[in-house]
Structure 1
Amino acid sequence: MKNINFGIDLGTTNSGFAKYENGKVVIYKNPVGFRDTVPSVVSFRKGRIQIGEKAREHLVSNSESVFASFKRKMGSDESYFIKDTENNITPIELSSMVLKELINFAQGENPKSTVITIPASFDTIQTNATKKAGYLAGFEEVVLLQEPIAACLAYSNAQNLEILNPEKWLVYDFGGGTFDVAVVYIDERELKVIDHKGNNFLGGVDLDNLFVEKVICPKIEESAGVENLWQKMIAGDNADYKKLYFELLFKAEEAKKELSLKDHTSIEVDSDNLDIVVDIDILRAEFEASIAPKFEESFQLTENLLKENNLHFTDIEKIILVGGTTYIPYIRQELASRSGISVDTSIDPTTAVIVGAAFYAGSKQSELVEKSEAVVDHSAQKEMGVQLVFEPNSKDTEELIAVIISDPFEGFYRITREDGGFDTGLMKAGQKFTEFVPLLTKATNQFTVSLYDTQQNLVYSNNAVRITNGLYNVQGQPLPNDICLELDEERGKTYMERIFKKNEILPLKKTVYKLSSKNILKNSDEKLIINVVEGNSGSMVGSNQTIGYIEISGENFPHDLLKGMDIELNFKISESRDLSVSVYIGSLDLEINEVFNPHQRTVIVEKLISEIKDAIDDINSEIDFEAPEENYEYLAKLKRVQEHLIVLYDEAIACRNDNSTDKKYQLEEMKRILIQEYDDMVRHKHVLQELIEYNDTKAYFTEYLEKASPKQREEFDKITKNEKEVLQSNNKYLIRKKNQELESLLDAIYYNQSESIVNTYYFYMTKDEGEYKDVAKFRQLCSLGEKALEKTSYVELRAIYTQMYHLLKVKPARRDDFNTFDGNLGLK
């Protein structure tokens, strides 16, 4: 098998294509202008499809049939209407066209496999949409790589670095459409992402929109006497204003580039149809003031990332810049002055991800089998258990290959390097042997290990031994978010139990065992629901994204599913984030298997408004519950989040008529971030309450544990065995569940004690006679109870108060009544 070798940066504003070959990366040049990248723009004009620079040139004159920034809509249900063809087209289809254009750059080559980069903060739906675009473009194999990892690979492999001591880098990736920030660990041998944060709707496009709205539009309004120009343009219901919007965006992008080099620039606007002819001057300071809020958003994400990982800027060795937006001097200066860290500008931020993708592709083995690959005749090759042990990455000039054969073996081995520069010749081999092989520097060395019997007949061959010298590589990618299972909780709500933890290295698999939380009769319309979500395991279910949903109806059951029956669930998630879920119910002999790769979600403005309002109301309730004099700092934080949500609510109301910009997606992203922030604050408080309750319950055991039976003491040890892990989980639901287990055990011990039996008897005996259905029977029980007390017969006394309970007209709820619940999902 060969390595993939081809890498693509599918960017919001520009995309690029490169190949790894003989230890080096070659970027395929765009034939138009011989540049390293191509604009991610597609136009449809007079039956002709154009991609790249030519398409971008038509953005102003033919905006209705020219499409850009569609990467930001990947994973959404958005589609674009093509006036020229009167058809709709999706972001996935547009992205596939850009990918096909990139393939054309590699003239004479026909790559079947590729690595495509994605923002680290892309969720599973956006990830799957990107893969689908790759397959639509004609690739048979698509492997995804997170952009911060690609940038680090480019930086570490392009520089002659000598890392004597481990370092931490900060990758600040401000691209055309997305923002990502990541903390990366690197030493002399290893490079890995520790953690990341991002916003999929924060990029250069948003800076351009702010620039137009806050600077350019007011100047035009003042000069031309126009009112509400921005609102008229983004409404999209007037062709002339819509055309002006795209013209101003185009001019804003050009002015942004000029202001990165000069202190001032000018823009000419000429629209005869709208009677607007102006020439406006713009200062760099005005531009910087307009984009400052977006930089603040990026810097706050950066600070939060460090805080969540108990790091400070002083722990960071350097900041690596990625993305075209980082060319803006204001961003570089603010980043350097606020962090106090060296900002490294030694690599090109616009091509770093392309180069890194190719480096990764050069180390990634393709799963496709080429027809031209030589295959050993299986009739002559014995079934052999052969284990090859070697380091895939090495800084040394030679590396050890160890071969272990499961069965006794006598014969010969031969190891050759693909370029012909090394050949051991035939060497005697036993069941185990080793060989030091020389490595070409700064290159991936491919070796073939062959085994021969005593007659020198080939019995085994493996050409998949690849050792990269002097280059950093990444063994697996981190999972961007927790993957969780929604479960019924005993207070009538649901919670999330983590299956896979954020930053665990993909691929992953796990088996969990759960119980049915309700009876589901066969042939009924009751359902067992398996809901797999992506997000934060300790947060509310609603603030996260569903990525796998299975409904199993009673109509499909061969028998009744009774409460408390075992349910086995197996989860697998691939490196490219395909999710496989299998459900097995042994009592029904029922198995269901599903593979989820959702690639579309919907953002509805009215639903968005409703969710923001609900969050504001929840915060109001929390504020009303708190005593101001006791926790003013906590209240201040709550009010700050609430104020941001109120602003967001007003913007969402105004967004109802916005048919041009990405505003609703930005608001959706900000809503998610703010609700998560609120959720974090409330969760911390609720976790403390659950911890207090747990510790109080456990304290009671000092009185009752000595009265427990040996089996009950064993149960107590079992419950408290892993309590440290649960109590430190910061998950109120897990702590509550642990507390409920302790309470149930404590009840079992307490209600077996004589004092408890006596107290319960007096509770029922002292009730008013009118509360009982049969007064004569009640009096008889009271008489029997007194005799049982005289004899200290507690078994009789328990039987007597049980009969009293059943005589009551209205029965009081017992603890068992609260613990016995029917879940909505059917899974606990």
Structure 2
Amino acid sequence: MANINFGIDLGTTNSAIAKYENGKITLYKNPVGFKDTLPSVVSFRKGRIQIGDKARELMLTQSENVFSSFKRKMGSDAQYFVEAIDAEIAPVELSAMVLKELINFTQPEQPKSTVITIPASFDTIQTNATKKAGYQAGFEEVVLLQEPIAACLAYSNTLNIDISQEQKWLVYDFGGGTFDVALVRIDPRELKVLDHKGNNFLGGLDLDNLFVEKVICPKIEAVSGQTNLWKRMIAGEEADCKKLYFELLFKAEEAKKELSIKTSAQFELDIEAWDVFADIEVSRVEFESILYAKFDESYHLTERLLVDNGLKFSQIDRIILVGGTTYIPYIREQLAQRSGIKVDTGIDPTTAVVVGAAYYAGSKPSELAEENQESNPVATDLSVEVVYEPNSKDAEELIAAVFKTPFQGYYRITRSDGGFDTGVLKINQKVTEFVPLLEKATNIFTLLIFDENQNVVYQNNSIHITNGLYNIMGQPLPNDICLEVDEEAGKTFMERIFKKNDILPLKKTLYKTTSKNILKNSDDKLIINIVEGNAGGMIGSNLTIGYIEITGKSLPMDLIKGMDIELNFKISESRDLNVSIYIGALDLEINEVFNPHQRQVVLDKLASEIKTVVDEIQEEIEYQEEDENYEYLAKLKRILDHLTVLYNEALEAVDDRSTDRKFQLDEMKRLTIQEYDDLVRHKHVLQEIQEYQNTREGVESYLEVASPKQREEFEKIVRNEKEILQSNNKYLIRKKTKELDDLYDSIYMKQDERFVNAFYYYRFKMESEYKDAQRFKKLVELGESALERNSMTELKAINYQFWDLLIVKPRTREDLNNFDGDLGLK
């Protein structure tokens, strides 16, 4: 089986394609300018579609038919109206056009399989949209790779770094449209991404917009007499302003590049409609004055990544720069100054990702059937299992062939370059041969098996062993994948299915019960909602990636409360989600595959969601002011201020028809609510831990009178308590507390003192809480008499009479456990 070999960086600003072959990477050149990259820009003009540099040049004259930065809207419901063809086009289609152009660079080769990179913080919907673009471009096989992994593979395989012991790196990836920071562990044999954080709407494009708004627009207003220029440009209602916006974005990007090597830059501006012709000069100082807030956002995410993993900057060995934005001197200087770590510029930040993608593709077997490939050309019953390490740091590696049934014959192993040949050797039960490896290359070996007459009965010519190159054997899951389940009537929580940073692919089975009756032919529903995000956070701050409704109309018979449900989940390396549901009592099985590639962002809904959290934070602040926890209050107020700004910007952005501000606001809302979630969850988790410990002490105080089975149950419950208490998930801790609570009740209910405690509970209630005051007094006398005689049987009967006499009866544990859930699943 051949490897994929082709890797693509599908970037916001620029894209590229490369190929792995025999340990070396070939970057395919853009015929225009013979550059390593292709601008991710598409234009429509006179029935002709142009992609890349020529399309980008038209931004100055025909901006209404030129489209760029569409990667930022992948997975959204955004549509671009193309005047030239009088039609709308989606970001996925534009991305497919860029990919097709990259394929043209490989002529005469026509790759059918490829690895395409995505930001580590891309959610499942954005991931699926990228995959869809790959298939629309004509690929038959698309494998996705997270960009920080690609950057690390490029860095570790390209540079000769002496890694004699374990190191930790930070990959600081500030690209044209997205920002990612990843924590990586590397040792002499293995490279692994431990964790990451990111913002899908923080990139060079945002710096360009700020540059235009804060620096260039005021200069134009000064020479033209125009006012409110920025708001008029992004509103897109005036043709001249709309055209000017795209022209200024183009010039801002060029000036930004120039300011990376010079202290000032100039460009000409000719606006016929306003009779304005001017030379606009911008300085590096002016540009850097607008960078602080955006750099601070990236640095704040970097700090949070380290805090979440219990690390300090002093424990990081190096920072690897990726993405064109990291060319900006201010970014490099601030990063080095604040972190105190070596900022490594050893690789080209603009091509690191595509180089790493090609290295990964070179080690990834293609699942497509190869034409004209025969691994066993002779009809035979011979069954052979070939075993070897596909990646090795050693000078030689073992190839073994094991026969399922006894076999006598011969074997021969050759290396494709002709540098190694075992000759024909006798087989002794099995084949074991150490083969020499060419350094920093993929070594291809052929194994031939002969019968006793030296006729070929088996051939395997696709044994690939890569020497001296780092590889990664699996990609981490970017977020928790959770199932929403009923906690109590009207409330739900997220139960984690797969944990963030688990290595893909994954599968798991959960067993649940129904929390309500769903009658045949009724409109009642059993809801299976699978979400992506943070298992311990708010459900509203997470993203639904799989949703199934089972209504009474689809049931063969009634679904009764308490019935068992088996749920099987599988998630592929490219994040396809497969869900299988089996209800044994109904013999009902449902299978669904989810690969959603589009979601909607509505500004009114966005503002409403922010307002809900703002109100909640204000209540939390009012409550906490009484406790005078000033550090906690300060953090709450900072988050509140940020959300208030986002709320106001969401209201203002209603008229923004030119930028992708609404998607940026949605991303910032998500990240800020997650930060609030983390802060409040810490306090709630501490409360739940205290409740757990109190309950545990209560159970322990009764263990002496517990039965052997109850003591065994206690040991089973507390066996993994350390893992649960450190999970930072209040729902998991609460569930564990409930298990102890139920055990406590089962022991306590067999003790005489429970009747005594119950009597005093009823004895000291107000007379007004009972239906008959005289009867209440009589029961009190009878109860005290029973206590004097230590008659628990009488006291038990009296307690039941108290219960019947109550006007409003307290909820029992049984009541709490037998609620009807909204989802129908618990």
**TM-score bucket (shorter structure):** over 0.9
Q: Is the 8 A contact 1:410 1:430 kept in 2?
A: yes
Match of 1:471 among 466, 469, 472: 469
Q: How far apart are residue 739 of structure 1 and its match?
A: 1.1
Q: Which amino acid aligns with 2:180?
A: D
Q: Is the 8 A contact 2:377 2:459 kept in 1?
A: no
Q: Which amino acid aligns with 1:336?
A: A
Q: Deviations over 1:541-596 (max 9, x none)?
A: 11111111111112222233233222211111111111111111122211111111
Q: Is the 8 A contact 2:507 2:571 kept in 1?
A: yes
Q: Is the 8 A contact 1:381 1:458 kept in 2?
A: no
Counterpart of 1:229 in structure 2 is 229
Counterpart of 1:138 in structure 2 is 138
Q: How far apart are residue 210 of structure 1 and its match?
A: 0.3
Q: Is the 8 A contact 1:382 1:460 kept in 2?
A: no
Counterpart of 2:811 in structure 1 is 813
Q: How far apart are residue 788 of structure 1 and its match?
A: 6.6
Q: Deviations over 1:521-546 (max 9, x none)?
A: 22222111111111111111111111
Distance in structure 2 (CA, Å) of the matches to 1:136 and 1:762: 74
Matching of residue 165 in structure 1 with residue 165 in structure 2: yes
Q: How far apart are residue 412 of structure 1 and its match?
A: 2.3
Distance in structure 1 (CA, Å) of the matches to 2:554 and 2:327: 59
Distance in structure 1 (CA, Å) of the matches to 2:375 and 2:229: 68
Q: Taking every aligned residue pair, what percent have the same amino acid on both sides?
A: 69
Distance in structure 1 (CA, Å) of the matches to 2:496 and 2:598: 24
Q: How far apart are residue 201 of structure 1 and its match?
A: 0.6
Between 680-689 and 812-821, the greater mean CA deviation after superposition: 812-821
Distance in structure 1 (CA, Å) of the matches to 2:111 and 2:761: 81
SS at match of 2:579: strand
Match of 1:712 among 703, 707, 710: 710
Distance in structure 2 (CA, Å) of the matches to 1:572 and 1:246: 44
Distance in structure 2 (CA, Å) of the matches to 1:44 and 1:766: 83
Distance 1:314 1:237, change over 3 A: same
Distance in structure 2 (CA, Å) of the matches to 1:354 and 1:290: 30
Counterpart of 1:381 in structure 2 is 380
Q: Is the 8 A contact 2:185 2:191 kept in 1?
A: yes
Q: Is the 8 A contact 2:699 2:740 kept in 1?
A: no
Distance in structure 2 (CA, Å) of the matches to 1:784 and 1:201: 73
Between 279-288 and 133-142, the greater mean CA deviation after superposition: 279-288
Distance 1:453 1:796, change over 3 A: farther
Distance 1:736 1:114, change over 3 A: same
Q: Is the 8 A contact 2:489 2:821 kept in 1?
A: no
Counterpart of 1:335 in structure 2 is 335
TM-score by structure 1 length?
Answer: 0.96
Q: Which amino acid aligns with 1:490?
A: E
Q: Is the 8 A contact 2:6 2:17 kept in 1?
A: yes
Counterpart of 1:33 in structure 2 is 33
Q: Is the 8 A contact 1:236 1:659 kept in 2?
A: yes
TM-score by structure 2 length?
Answer: 0.96
SS at match of 1:7: strand
SS at match of 2:606: helix
Question: Unpaired segments of 5 or more residues in structure 2?
Answer: none
Q: How far apart are residue 718 of structure 1 and its match?
A: 2.1
Q: How far apart are residue 792 of structure 1 and its match?
A: 5.0
Q: How far apart are residue 774 of structure 1 and its match?
A: 8.3
Between 817-826 and 782-791, the greater mean CA deviation after superposition: 782-791
Distance in structure 2 (CA, Å) of the matches to 1:540 and 1:273: 52
Between 149-158 and 449-458, the greater mean CA deviation after superposition: 449-458
Distance in structure 2 (CA, Å) of the matches to 1:391 and 1:450: 19
Between 722-731 and 750-759, the greater mean CA deviation after superposition: 750-759
Between 396-405 and 790-799, the greater mean CA deviation after superposition: 790-799
Distance in structure 2 (CA, Å) of the matches to 1:212 and 1:297: 20
Q: Deviations over 1:354-413 (max 9, x none)?
A: 1111111111100000222124247x23262x4333222122222111233333333222
Distance 1:526 1:665, change over 3 A: same
Counterpart of 1:486 in structure 2 is 484
Q: Is the 8 A contact 1:150 1:352 kept in 2?
A: yes
SS at match of 2:267: strand
Q: Which amino acid aligns with 1:106?
A: T
Q: Is the 8 A contact 1:169 1:319 kept in 2?
A: yes
Matching of residue 267 in structure 1 with residue 267 in structure 2: yes
Distance 1:770 1:671, change over 3 A: closer
Match of 1:574 among 572, 575, 586: 572
Distance 1:281 1:805, change over 3 A: same
Distance 1:797 1:458, change over 3 A: farther
Q: How far apart are residue 26 of structure 1 and its match?
A: 0.8
Distance in structure 2 (CA, Å) of the matches to 1:471 and 1:768: 79
1:643-682 superposed matches below 5 A: 643-682=641-680
Q: Is the 8 A contact 1:224 1:277 kept in 2?
A: no
Counterpart of 2:825 in structure 1 is 827
Q: Which amino acid aligns with 1:298?
A: S
Q: Deviations over 1:473-521 (max 9, x none)?
A: 1111111111111111136421112111111211111112222222222
Distance in structure 1 (CA, Å) of the matches to 2:72 and 2:148: 18
Counterpart of 1:514 in structure 2 is 512
Q: How far apart are residue 762 of structure 1 and its match?
A: 5.8
Between 715-724 and 451-460, the greater mean CA deviation after superposition: 451-460
Distance 1:768 1:321, change over 3 A: closer
Distance in structure 2 (CA, Å) of the matches to 1:492 and 1:711: 35
SS at match of 1:162: coil
Match of 2:397 among 389, 396, 399: 399
Match of 2:682 among 656, 671, 684: 684
1:271-670 superposed matches below 5 A: 271-377=271-377, 380-382=379-381, 384=383, 386-490=384-488, 492-628=490-626, 630-670=628-668
Q: Is the 8 A contact 1:224 1:278 kept in 2?
A: no
Distance in structure 2 (CA, Å) of the matches to 1:295 and 1:346: 22
Counterpart of 1:77 in structure 2 is 77
Distance 1:233 1:424, change over 3 A: same
Q: How far apart are residue 247 of structure 1 and its match?
A: 0.7
Q: How far apart are residue 750 of structure 1 and its match?
A: 2.3
Q: Is the 8 A contact 1:412 1:451 kept in 2?
A: yes
SS at match of 1:360: helix
Q: Deviations over 1:674-726 (max 9, x none)?
A: 11111111000001111111111122224322232333222222222221111
Q: Is the 8 A contact 2:437 2:467 kept in 1?
A: yes
Distance 1:770 1:616, change over 3 A: closer
Q: Which amino acid aligns with 2:155?
A: Y
Q: How far apart are residue 808 of structure 1 and its match?
A: 4.3
Q: Which amino acid aligns with 1:615?
A: V
Distance in structure 2 (CA, Å) of the matches to 1:353 and 1:448: 32
Q: Which amino acid aligns with 1:381?
A: T
Distance in structure 1 (CA, Å) of the matches to 2:628 and 2:778: 55
Q: How far apart are residue 751 of structure 1 and its match?
A: 2.9
Between 295-304 and 99-108, the greater mean CA deviation after superposition: 295-304
Between 165-174 and 710-719, the greater mean CA deviation after superposition: 710-719
Distance in structure 1 (CA, Å) of the matches to 2:605 and 2:591: 32
Q: How far apart are residue 127 of structure 1 and its match?
A: 0.5
Q: Is the 8 A contact 1:211 1:290 kept in 2?
A: yes
Q: Deviations over 1:593-639 (max 9, x none)?
A: 11111101111111111111111111001111114553111001100
Distance in structure 2 (CA, Å) of the matches to 1:349 and 1:772: 77
Matching of residue 244 in structure 1 with residue 237 in structure 2: no
Distance in structure 1 (CA, Å) of the matches to 2:459 and 2:75: 43
Question: Unpaired segments of 5 or more residues in structure 1?
Answer: none
Q: Deviations over 1:404-440 (max 9, x none)?
A: 3333333222222233433323322233331011212
SS at match of 1:625: helix
Distance 1:780 1:389, change over 3 A: same
Between 34-43 and 268-277, the greater mean CA deviation after superposition: 268-277
Q: Is the 8 A contact 2:16 2:102 kept in 1?
A: yes
Distance 1:771 1:475, change over 3 A: closer
